[in-house]
């Protein structure tokens, strides 16, 4: 087999088939018809003497040789793209690029306003798109390039991904101002006896992390309300006797507009890290390099988690 028997479209097709396991999706990604992609795959099978990708009960799957060729094609294209983009000029003042993020409701409320104010000055024609965090595999969208970044607390973006610290965060408890059980501040007894509102947002490990911290200290919540979104909890707490555990920055944002107070949890807790994640394939993209440096730099003065005091 000689390299001059291949063309760039075939290599791109192999890489996209390895990524998406779909002829139609691969065809769309490389800008050809599905029929043209099928013919190209048939030609590759004849050239390489291997089925490469076959239909199974689990879907369109690579053969062992197809998997190796797919990985090699992806890596070759990554090197080529990195070389082509290494000398590109990126001008934030004139760019019309859309930057895309995975972020939960808390990240959107706490981090995006600062980013949008920054872009209005530094990159006025740039735009931002936020995608909901997938429950199962957020890494797929990042590795394919459909989404540029994931910002938040993730424990499932490891091999093949890079990250930078944005801020350190701490859990706090919120209650309505004048809550009768908290006139003397937060205690373990008051925390146990109160009814709680709890958020179980998808795609993040927040809920499990809170439960682990509380259970290690022998505390359990008497949960009366469960919601899929965390940003509604302060509004619910402000008009009830429910307590809620939320990130400190979210609590602070709502104390300006709602009659709630922020209290420390009745147990010792450590901070956790909010990080910006991206796939290493896009490490050298000039626009994305500028964005991640800018995003991280925006919060350089806010790295430390704030320790709440009873209000």
DSSP string, 114-166: HHHHHHHHH-TT-EEEEEPPPSS-HHHHHHHTSS-EEEE--SS--TTEEEEEE
pLDDT in tens, 232-281: 999 999 999 999 999 999 999 899 899 999 999 888 777 888 999 999 88
Strand-pair partners of 162: 278
Q: Does domain 3-85 have CATH number 3.30.70.2190?
A: no
Q: For the purposes of burial, counting CB atoms within 10 Å of the CB of 306, is it exposed (0-12), middle (13-18) or buried (19 or more)?
A: middle
Structure tokens at 181: 């059980």
Q: Do 98-168+272-302 and 171-263 share a fold?
A: yes
State the CATH class of domain 171-263. alpha beta
> What's the pLDDT at 311?
45
- Domain locations along the chain: 3-85, 98-168+272-302, 171-263
> What's the pLDDT at 99?
96
Q: Which helix (H) or strand (E) holds 189?
A: helix 188-193
Where is average pLDDT lowest: 53-67, 85-99, 157-171, 262-276? 85-99
pTM: 0.69
Q: How much of the chain exceeds pLDDT 70, in percent?
A: 91
Task: Examine the pLDDT at 308 and tell me if it is beyond 70.
Answer: no
Which pLDDT band, with edges at 50, 70 and 90, does 305 fall under?
low
Q: Of residues 208 and 9, which shows the higher confidence score?
A: 9
Superfamily of domain 98-168+272-302: Periplasmic binding protein-like II (3.40.190.10)
> What's the pLDDT at 310?
46
DSSP 230: S
Structure tokens at 133: 């965090």
Which pLDDT band, with edges at 50, 70 and 90, does 203 fall under?
very low
pLDDT in tens, 35-70: 999 999 999 999 999 999 998 877 789 999 999 998
**Contacts of residue 68, Cβ cutoff 8 Å, sequence gap at least 6:** none
Among 279, 12, 272, 280, CA closest to 137: 279
């Amino acid at each position: 087999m000689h390299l001059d028997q291949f063309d760039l479209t075939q290599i791109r097709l192999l890489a996209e088939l390895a990524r998406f396991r779909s002829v139609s999706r691969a065809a769309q990604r490389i800008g050809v018809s599905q029929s043209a992609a099928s013919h190209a795959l048939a030609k590759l099978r004849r050239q390489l003497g291997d089925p490469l990708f076959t239909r199974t009960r689990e879907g369109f799957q690579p053969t062992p040789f197809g998997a190796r060729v797919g990985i090699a094609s992806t890596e070759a294209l990554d090197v080529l793209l990195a070389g082509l983009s290494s000398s590109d000029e990126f001008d934030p003042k004139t760019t019309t690029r859309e930057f895309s993020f995975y972020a939960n409701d808390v990240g959107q409320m706490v981090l995006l306003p600062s980013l949008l104010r920054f872009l209005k000055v530094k990159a006025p024609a740039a735009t931002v798109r936020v995608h909901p965090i997938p429950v199962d595999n957020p890494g797929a969208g990042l590795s394919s390039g459909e989404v540029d970044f994931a910002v938040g607390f993730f424990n499932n973006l490891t091999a093949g991904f890079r990250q930078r610290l944005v801020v350190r965060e701490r859990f706090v408890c919120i209650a309505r101002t004048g809550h009768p059980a908290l006139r003397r501040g937060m205690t373990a007894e008051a925390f146990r006896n109160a009814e709680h509102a709890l958020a179980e947002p998808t795609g993040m490990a927040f809920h499990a992390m809170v439960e682990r911290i509380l259970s290690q200290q022998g505390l359990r919540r008497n949960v009366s309300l469960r919601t899929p979104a965390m940003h509604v909890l302060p509004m619910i707490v402000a008009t009830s006797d429910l307590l809620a555990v939320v990130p400190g920055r979210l609590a602070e944002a709502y104390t300006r507009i709602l009659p709630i107070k922020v209290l420390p949890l009745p147990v010792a807790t450590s901070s956790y890290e909010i990080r910006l994640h991206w796939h290493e394939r896009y490490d050298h993209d000039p626009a994305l390099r500028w964005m991640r440096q800018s995003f991280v730099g925006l919060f350089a003065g806010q790295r430390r988690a704030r320790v709440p005091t009873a209000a």
